[in-house]
Amino acid sequence: MTYLIDFIRTIIVAFVTLFPVVNPIGDAPIFLSLTRQYPESVQKILARKIAAYGFVILAVSLLIGTEILAFLGIKLFVVQIAGGLIVASTGWSLLSQKSDDPAPESEPATLEDALQHAFYPLTLPLTVGPGSISIAITIGAHLRRPGSPAFSPAYALQLAAAMTGMAFICVLVALCYGNAERLVRVLGKSGTDIMIRLSAFVLFAIGVQIMWNGLAGGVLQLFPGGIPH
């Protein structure tokens, strides 16, 4: 019974901590604004691809994210600063874009072209960015209990629970992105524009917050005793 409670609790923690950062509902209009040149059938394929890529990124970050950063000699705060900058710039470009700007006609609206953009920028950093990766790495680090074996049935169960929560987030991404056109029809032109502006501002703010967290973490690591006067 204890294992079941811990399993459900880990699912909820993974879902609740990732949901506001991934923000599948708020990012759906942004996804649509970036993929307007593609037909709805292609957008649905893109939505499923983004969800699959997002799950892989989160799962890898959960399992071996800390080890990858240590092997490359990269600190987590560096990833936060660099990734936050990308997220903030994406949000700013969407925020400053004119609402009546047409989609570029020079880009061929083909499935092959759409799939080239499925990973970057639609998955990384728009959907699963440095904030989500940092959360996944942190969850993975907390699941490793000090003094316990490197791999135990209890640890495996907790990993499975965390990945289940991540899977729920990614399924929600596929549903929201795949039905973004329907959502936009409900909101209307003005409502969609407001939603995109608000989501873009939130995306910009999240990017700035991620950079701030990285800067704060970097200062603490460089000056563990405090900033010298």
Q: What is the mean pLDDT of the chain?
A: 83
Handedness of CA 66, 25, 55, 44 (dihedral sign): negative
pLDDT average, residue stretch 65-77: 84
Q: Cα–Cα distance between 40 and 43 in angstroms, integer?
A: 5
* pLDDT on residue 63: 92
* pLDDT on residue 106: 46
> What is the tens place of the pLDDT at every residue in 205-223?
877 887 888 888 888 777 7
pLDDT average, residue stretch 132-146: 80
pLDDT above 90 (res 134): no
pLDDT above 80 (res 86): no
> By C-alpha distance, which of 133, 135, 132, 119 is closest to 51?
119
**High-pLDDT (> 70) share of the chain, %:** 89
Are the CB atoms for 14 and 162 separated by under 8 Å? yes
3-class DSSP string for the chain: CHHHHHHHHHHHHHHHHHHHHHCHHHHHHHHHHHCCCCCHHHHHHHHHHHHHHHHHHHHHHHHHHHHHHHHHCCCHHHHHHHHHHHHHHHHHHHHHCCCCCCCCCCCCCCHHHHHHCHHHHHHHHHHCCHHHHHHHHHHHHHHCCCCCCCCCHHHHHHHHHHHHHHHHHHHHHHHHHHCHHHHHHHHHHHHHHHHHHHHHHHHHHHHHHHHHHHHHHHHHHHCCCCCCC
Q: Which two tokens stand for residue 133?
A: 């990766």
pLDDT above 80 (res 148): no
Q: Cα–Cα distance between 49 and 139 in angstroms, integer?
A: 24
Encoded amino acid at 66, one letter? T
pLDDT above 50 (res 158): yes
Give 172's pLDDT tier (boundaries 50, 70, 90). very high
Give pTM, 2 decimals: 0.76
pLDDT above 90 (res 201): no
Q: Which two tokens stand for residue 217?
A: 């973490």
In the chain, domain spans: 2-222
> By C-alpha distance, which of 98, 111, 106, 131 is closest to 39?
111
pLDDT above 60 (res 146): no
Planar angle of CA 27, 32, 37, nearest 5 degrees: 155
More confident call, 201 vs 159: 159
* Residue 227 backbone phi and psi in degrees, to 5: -70, 125
pLDDT average, residue stretch 192-211: 78
pLDDT average, residue stretch 142-168: 81
* pLDDT on residue 222: 72
Q: Cα–Cα distance between 212 and 56 in angstroms, integer?
A: 26
More confident call, 113 vs 56: 56
pLDDT above 50 (res 228): yes
**175: CB partners within 8 A, 6+ apart:** 24, 47
Give 17's pLDDT tier (boundaries 50, 70, 90). confident
pLDDT above 90 (res 10): yes
